[in-house]
Amino acid sequence: MPNSIQSDYWYIDETNEFLVCEVNEITGPSNPCLGQTRAFVPYIYSIDRATNVKTKLYPINDPQITDESASGFDAFVLVPDCNSDFNFSEITKPLISYNEKDELYNISFLGKYTDKNDGVTLFNYIFQYVNEQVKIVRSIAIVPEAKKLSKKYTFENGHINTEFFIEGNSSHASFLGVTSELFTSITRPVSYKVKPVHHNNDLRFNFVNLDYGHTGTVANSALPLCSSGGYIAQRGNDLAYRTDNCIRVDFTCKSYSLSGESQLGMVQMTELDGVSAARWVEAVTLSAGPAEGFCVFFYEPTQEDSTVFEDVDLNGVNSSLGYCPASAIQIGQDRLPAAYTGITLPGYVAIAFDLNGNFATTAEGKSGYYTDGLTISQTLCTIGIRGNKVNDYKALSQSTAITAVPLHEYVEAAGDATYKDFRVELTKQGKEIIIFGKLNISSDYIELHRLDMSRLPGYNFTVPPKLKVGLSSTTGGGTNLAPSVFNFELKSFKVKGVKAT
């Protein structure tokens, strides 16, 4: 920020003095993910007209941003809620005005961003001046929407919107056809729960950070984990979206595998001699996808009259995508069968961008179809849709192979993968689903698939008044149930209520 600029003066007849103001930026420590905390402090001075003596009225002590406000000056009251995203090239001259009715003074100025396309932020401070003492009554920063952390749905610099939380899919499972306590306690695969991680301003799903140099301090590499899952979802205490409007989900992501023998991945290994308790994760060359996929899911929130708001949890990996129950998932290098219960709060509908093509099939012991007349077979890179808890999360629809906007790509290096934009709309009072995609920011959305659930013969359901939203991604079985992985990176994720037309 340039040097501070002093305002024009304000003359007070009763006291025969001038008030002037200059603005200074101060910084202090913050969450390491958010950078420095910034406050733009109005230094207010009184100048006696008779003696020309200049006295600082505010702040009395040198301002500091500390947890305890050790200087006696609470600078946090002047810290805007989007403090980490300021980049000003200029601060305009502060203006001082007086409201006779309220007997309050007003200081306002503009912060002009280095990038002119970002616009300006208007700062406004209301203060009271009585008996040579200044008290800040209110501070306001009117910030462009793109600069507000509360309106920011990307993940730059470790940011995540306060509406959402991230978690790894629960992988604790019951094992099928096995009653031996020795077997289930010793040779079962390790139940890892891998959260998405920040990586190059994206959220990277199902990745394990590791250190090839064995320094034990900084991970210098990361590999995707087979039979793993992670998700982002609305917090339990966040507002749900009304289904009488359109609920729109926009997200930008990369979905790719490395070509040839380049796709290393992690896989769970287990000693099967019935005696050893050895279990570990090993880096091997795995089948280079596509394996499983990513999924937008709508679910019923905790009841509003409840005293405890629950965060949703997903139990399951592989082709369940964590949403629907599955009774015979094969996990680990030795492909041990396991059963998963799926989403913990009542699911309403899930839309899978299904790279492996098995989400809507009965593979791995998932429930069948909403009607006896429907059959769905594995088809790579399709959109699969499953219904609600009341109908046992049965499959409702599967598209043909999606080619207009590729759901997955093979590349020689991770940097060669391209971002794609996708949109999922739940409209017509929660009864119709429309999925769109586009190749890049300058292109138009293309409709990829559409399903009107109210037109499905024999599919009876009640639309909840409100729903919440999440997005999951899992790796898993791959083709022929061989361990397989792919890479999924989420650049942005936004849920919005749109007035129904």
How far apart CA 26 and CA 75 sit, in angstroms, is: 9
Q: What are phi and psi of 416, to 5 degrees?
A: -85, -15
Query: DSSP assignment, residue 235?
Result: -
Query: DSSP assignment, residue 339?
Result: E
How far apart CA 406 and CA 478 sit, in angstroms, is: 18
CATH 2.60.120.200 residue ranges of the chain are 170-498
pLDDT recorded at residue 34: 43
| pLDDT single digits (tens) 375-410 | 899 999 999 999 999 999 999 999 999 999 999 999
How far apart CA 345 and CA 313 sit, in angstroms, is: 7
In 3D space, the residue among 473, 397, 501, 407 whose CA is nearest the CA of residue 446 turns out to be 407
Q: CA-based Rg of the chain, rounded to a whole angstrom? A: 28
User: What's the residue count for the chain?
Assistant: 501
Q: Are 380 and 290 in contact, with CB atoms under 8 Å apart?
A: yes
pLDDT recorded at residue 180: 42
pLDDT recorded at residue 58: 85
pLDDT recorded at residue 259: 77
pLDDT recorded at residue 252: 96
Q: Which amino acid is at 225?
A: L
How far apart CA 225 and CA 222 sit, in angstroms, is: 9
Q: Would you tell me how many other CB atoms lie within 10 Å of the CB of residue 217?
A: 7
Q: Which regions of the chain are under pLDDT 50?
A: 1-3, 31-34, 67-72, 178-187, 274
Helix, strand or coil, per DSSP, at residue 178: coil
Q: How far are the Cα atoms of 155, 199, 359 from residue 203, in angstroms, in the given order?
A: 7, 6, 23
Q: Which amino acid is at 137?
A: V
Three-state SS string over 130-150 comes to ECCEEEEEEEEEECCHHHCHH
CATH number of 170-498: 2.60.120.200
